[in-house]
């Protein structure tokens, strides 16, 4: 069963038509959220991204019943340093160009947009449908075509495979580790690679143990990125199936 995709309306549209859609969507989002717009430069390209000004303010919107159902927190609403680092590497190395790519837990879509801008065919996924509205705005704002889909990484179904799976800062709860490994295994095409960016959380060690137990080999790239007046350490793990 294929993913239920939404194609962000960029390709084949005039700048004026895209700007009209951006204005409409901005008005919808601004009526519901306090917004923050930030600029980044990856490789030789300038980007602008929209997110929520204060993700903690969204906690009041989660009812006890909703939290008990699946313990979902509004992490999607913020741009995390690992996403910035992953996006920069994607643009600078260009190794995803021409490949099919799926992002897990994309949030507002920064890494997906970088991958698409570098020439990849991207399916940007998140559990939150609210996140995907921000992805649509960001993709249109950066004139970057991609598809979006809602995906619960605990329940990956279907037979569609991708040359690469990417994710940034998703190793924040122990309960997620095995589902993420299982999702990567289900989504990755033969010969493909997953790129997981993490700000060196302790849980990453347990994740790597699970990855190894499930037949993957691991290569690490350690990087440092500026976040305001601080330097953030991020490791990007490249996972590939062990071949006989």
Write down the H helix ranges in the chain. 15-30, 64-70, 81-93, 110-117, 129-141, 174-187, 203-213
Work out the number of other CB atoms within 10 angstroms of the CB of residue 119: 12
Q: Which residues contact 5 (CB under 8 A, 6 or more apart)?
A: 123, 147, 148, 149
pLDDT at 68 over 80: no
C-alpha distances (whole Å) from 103 to each of 62, 63, 228, 240 are 25, 28, 26, 16
Strand 35-42 relative to strand 100-103: parallel, antiparallel, unpaired? unpaired
Contact assessment for residue 50 and residue 140, using Cβ atoms and an 8 Å cutoff: no
pLDDT at 37 over 60: yes
Write down the H helix ranges in 142-232. 174-187, 203-213
pLDDT for the residue 188: 97
- 85 vs 65, more confident: 85
pLDDT for the residue 66: 53
| pTM, full prediction | 0.92
pLDDT for the residue 225: 72
- Reduce the DSSP state of residue 9 to 3 states and report it: coil
Convert 8-35 to b/e letters by CB count within 10 Å (16 or more is b). bebeeeeeeebeebbeebeeebeeebee
The tens digit of pLDDT for each residue in 217-240 reads 999 998 877 666 667 889 999 999
Contact assessment for residue 170 and residue 176, using Cβ atoms and an 8 Å cutoff: yes
Q: Please, what CATH class does the domain formed by 11-241 belong to?
A: alpha beta
């Amino acid at each position: 069963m294929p993913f239920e995709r939404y194609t962000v309306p960029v390709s084949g549209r005039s700048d004026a038509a895209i700007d009209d859609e951006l204005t409409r969507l901005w008005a919808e989002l601004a009526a519901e959220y306090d917004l923050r717009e930030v600029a980044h430069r990856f490789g030789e390209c300038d980007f602008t991204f929209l997110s929520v000004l204060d993700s903690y303010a969204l906690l009041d919107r989660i009812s006890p019943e909703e939290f008990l159902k699946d313990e979902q927190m509004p992490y999607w609403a913020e741009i995390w340093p690992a996403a910035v680092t992953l996006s920069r590497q994607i643009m600078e190395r260009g190794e995803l160009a021409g490949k099919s790519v799926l992002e897990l837990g994309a949030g507002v879509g920064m890494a997906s947009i970088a991958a698409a801008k570098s020439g990849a065919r991207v399916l940007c996924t998140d559990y939150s449908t609210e996140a995907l509205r921000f992805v649509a705005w960001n993709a249109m704002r950066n004139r970057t075509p991609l598809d979006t889909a809602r995906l619960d990484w605990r329940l990956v179904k279907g037979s569609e495979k991708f040359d690469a799976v990417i994710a940034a800062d998703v190793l924040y709860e122990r309960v997620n580790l095995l589902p993420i490994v299982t999702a990567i295994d289900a989504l990755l095409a033969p010969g493909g690679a997953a790129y997981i960016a993490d700000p060196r959380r302790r849980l990453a060690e347990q994740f790597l143990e699970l990855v190894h137990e499930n037949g993957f080999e691991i290569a690490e790239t350690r990087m440092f990125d500026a976040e305001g007046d601080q330097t953030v350490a991020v490791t990007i793990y490249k996972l590939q199936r062990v071949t006989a």
